[in-house]
Amino acid sequence: MEAFQTQGIKLPRLGLGTYRMQGDVCRAAVESGLALGYRHIDTAEMYSNEDAIGAAIASSGVPRSELHVTTKVWNENLTPDAMRRVFDASLKKLRLDVVDLYLVHWPKEGMHLPSMFETLMKLKEERRARAIGVANFNIALLKTVVEELKAPIACNQIEYHVMLDQSKVKKYMDSKSIPLVAYCPLAQGRAASDETLVAIGKKHNASAAQVALRWLLDQDGVAAIPKASRRESQQANLDALKVELDDDDRRKIAALPKNQRFVSPGFAPAWD
């Protein structure tokens, strides 16, 4: 699997999302994903599935050194003490000594960025998080973290798919060599029935979902973490890497409306 080098870690460009899967369903999905060859698993304290993922990893037989696991601290736990407490709990549930990437899941009004990143950097120094990063950070927040705090962030995980323009934040991230990890890369499944993508897919003997993933993975500095509970969909998403889009396909995808954001809680920051 193709991977980025970022802040000392190797981040596979296609990962398995796990939001809204818990318990045995999550365990089975992650076991199946690992058996098919996924080596990047995305979870979060907030998903309440780290225990199921820990069980799946333990039973998979995949060497730890081949596996990348991302987890995240929820925004109710951004004080240093709380962050350490939930970090310890995440590691324990995942049955790991070290997590590959630890992200701030969502910014929160009034959060104290210097103490948050000091805590994250200590976790990195202690070699319990191999790298640290953020999710849902806009340009202003990224500037503070990167330019003022000089935090070595390995990615910004944000919503990105064929129906949403993220060019402004991506331009800033590219200028600082920060990879974009695209969440909701299938627009929460909507991409699978988009008529334009279906037509492009027919031309290449591929599905609309595969076209949507390929479009993301064709872009420098972009990784994607589609969630798929079914083995067939997991395999199809891996096979998206075999699809080849041409300029005409890319023109058609560029012309799709790109103003649809599907994840936007009330406390989301202004984006530009």
Ligand X SMILES: NC(=O)c1ccc[n+]([C@@H]2O[C@H](COP(=O)([O-])OP(=O)(O)OC[C@H]3O[C@@H](n4cnc5c(N)ncnc54)[C@H](OP(=O)(O)O)[C@@H]3O)[C@@H](O)[C@H]2O)c1
The helix or strand, by DSSP H or E, that contains position 70, with its residue range, turns out to be strand 68-73
In this complex, which beta carbon is closest to ligand X, that of residue 119 or of residue 156? Answer: 156
Residue 187 lies near ligand X (rule: CB under 6 A): yes
Binding mask 135-174 for ligand X (x = CB under 6 A): xx--------------------x-----------------
Minimum Å distance from CB 26 to ligand X?
10
Tokens of 239: 């096979």
Minimum Å distance from CB 184 to ligand X?
4
Residues 6+ apart with CB under 8 A from 205: none
Residue 26 lies near ligand X (rule: CB under 6 A): no
CA distance 79 to 84: 9
Minimum Å distance from CB 65 to ligand X?
23
Q: Could you tell me which stretch among 58-66, 126-134, 162-170, 230-238 binds ligand X (CB under 6 A)?
A: 230-238
Catalytic site includes residue 47: yes
Catalytic residue among 19, 47, 102, 160: 47
Q: Could you tell me which stretch among 94-102, 138-146, 186-194, 197-205 binds ligand X (CB under 6 A)?
A: 186-194
In this complex, which beta carbon is closest to ligand X, that of residue 127 or of residue 159? Answer: 159
Long-range contacts: 28-35, Cβ < 8 Å, 24+? 28/56, 29/228, 29/229, 29/234, 30/56, 30/57, 30/60, 31/56, 31/59, 31/60, 32/231, 32/234, 33/228, 33/234, 34/60, 34/62, 34/67, 35/60
CA distance 209 to 245: 13
- Total number of residues that touch ligand X (CB under 6 A): 28
Q: Could you tell me which stretch among 53-61, 107-115, 223-231, 246-254 binds ligand X (CB under 6 A)?
A: 223-231
Residue 184 lies near ligand X (rule: CB under 6 A): yes
Residues 6+ apart with CB under 8 A from 248: none
CA atoms in the 13 A half-sphere facing the CB of 268: 14
Residue 237 lies near ligand X (rule: CB under 6 A): yes
CA distance 192 to 211: 9
Contacting ligand X within 43-82 (CB under 6 A): none
The residue count of the chain comes to 272
Please report how the helices 23-36 and 50-60 are oriented relative to each other, as an axis angle in degrees rounded to 10: 40
Among 101, 225, 238, 243, binds ligand X (CB under 6 A): 225
Among 102, 117, 160, 183, binds ligand X (CB under 6 A): 183
In this complex, which beta carbon is closest to ligand X, that of residue 100 or of residue 127? Answer: 100
CA distance 23 to 266: 28
Residue 260 lies near ligand X (rule: CB under 6 A): no
CA distance 178 to 182: 13
Residue 133 lies near ligand X (rule: CB under 6 A): no
Query: Residues with catalytic annotation?
Result: 47
Interface residues with ligand X (CB under 6 A) are 17-19, 42, 105, 135-136, 157, 183-189, 192, 207, 209, 225-230, 233, 236-237, 263
